Amino acid sequence: MNVRVLFLNTYLLRPVTIPVPGRPVRLGAPPGWRQRAFELGPRLRGRADVLALAEVWEWRDRDTLLGAWPAAERPTVAEGPAAGPLAIRGSGLRTFVDGHPVSQTASTVFSVRGNLLVDADVLANKGVLLTSVVVGDGVELEIYSTHLCWGGGLLPSKKHPEGVRPAVRAAQVAELASFIRRTHSAGSPILVVGDFNLAAAGPDGEPTAEYQNLCRTLAELGLEDAWVSCGNPGGGYTCDLVRFEGQLGAEDPDDGDLLLDESGVTRPVAPSKPRIGAINEPARIDLAFYAAGEGAAAALGPVTMRRAAFARHGHVPTAADPLRTLSDHAGLLVTLAG
């Protein structure tokens, strides 16, 4: 029994204009989003059995990614929460399951989102997506994917307290745990993956208060940080491949999609112009947590965990499309065996 799960924040954000009376607000898109979607699909095909994706906001981008598979071989797609009357975007969560049956899907929208005037997250139905995948005889792996609040992006405000965003994320972590309790089938193994938008460690290398709260909350469900349990070396930085180009790790010469985990900076290097409310050094914000199952599933567990940067080999950066990687995040490739 062997299954590979890849989590990736795809960075496929389309531009949108919010019709604020008297002052429309335009949310820009990251550079090259359309072309990157066409390039990413073929790189994802065959990379893992389960592709838990974030920031695939539009069905058009979902279909662009799926176009990399022949029509008769396309994976099953589990959809996260969609847009609604008060949200111009859905959750951006979509999970592709390739070659395994899907026994159940469920989702929830976070009730706590942020500040309506300041945080663009409020305008998206961010939440949690559960995809239960049959990975062996009598074994269903429950994969929960999520994307927590980042904050900012709307009206500028110097009065918005920095403490608000961690409080929002803490509330969302509590909602994530509650959703797992409601939907978990006793005895099934659990894998929680996501862009948690919180740094696992600070510039001094010590665990942050937010990360400690996350670990405590998920530990109540038997979940452990897979990066730690797999014994990976280095900081495991996943963000930001654009702002900190070259600092997250060297490309694996044996697999150009992956990074060498023992490489990369050992102490984060802050930018010369820090951004207020931003993560201003390389950080491990994309995380995976695992809880073992019972019975036939007891032996299944993470044996390796690698970071995937998806370098754009042969791409010539331009002003309109300067990214040298297919996302600003490194993905997490978790291999489970048993």
* Structure confidence by residue, pLDDT tens digits, 14-25: 887 766 667 666
Mean pLDDT across 128-157? 89
For position 152, what pLDDT does the model report? 74
Cβ 112 vs Cβ 157: under 8 Å: no
User: What does the pLDDT read at residue 237?
Assistant: 92
Which residue spans within 137-217 are E strands per DSSP?
139-147, 190-195
> What average pLDDT does the structure give for the chain?
89
Higher pLDDT: 338 or 36? It is 36
Higher-pLDDT residue of 237 and 119 is 237
- Structural domain total, the chain: 1
Q: What is the pLDDT of residues 233-291, one digit of tens each?
A: 888 999 988 888 888 888 999 999 999 987 555 554 555 444 544 566 889 999 999 99
CA 283 to centroid of chain Cα atoms: 13
Residues 6+ apart with CB under 8 A from 185: 132, 140, 142
Q: Which of 79-83, 109-113, 166-170, 203-207 has the lowest mean pLDDT?
A: 203-207
By CB neighbour count within 10 A (0-12 exposed, 13-18 middle, 19+ buried), where does 316 fall? exposed
pLDDT at 332: 98
Three-state SS for 213?
helix
Token representation of residue 167? 């409080």
Neighbours of 22 (CB within 10 A): 4
Q: How far is CA 236 from the centre of its chain?
A: 14
For residue 277, the model assigns a pLDDT of: 47
Give the closest residue to 175 by CA, choosing from 126, 106, 110: 110
Task: Count Cβ atoms within 10 A of the Cβ of residue 16 and give its class: 0-12 exposed, 13-18 middle, 19 or more buried.
Answer: middle
* Domain encompassing residue 329: 2-337
Count of other CB atoms within 10 angstroms of residue 171? 16
Cis preceding-peptide flag for 240 (omega within 30 of 0): yes
Q: What confidence tier does 217 reach under pLDDT thresholds 50, 70, 90?
A: very high
For residues 25-31, give the mean pLDDT. 73
pLDDT tens track for 177-189:
999 999 999 999 9
Q: What is the pLDDT of residue 19?
A: 67
Q: E strands along the chain, which residues?
A: 2-12, 16-18, 25-27, 50-56, 76-79, 94-97, 102-109, 127-136, 139-147, 190-195, 224-225, 251-252, 255-259, 286-291, 301-308, 331-337
The domain that holds 257 is classified in CATH as 3.60.10.10
**Tens of pLDDT, residues 49-76:** 999 999 999 999 999 999 999 999 999 9
Q: Which segment of 11-20, 31-40, 275-284, 297-306 scores lowest on mean pLDDT?
A: 275-284
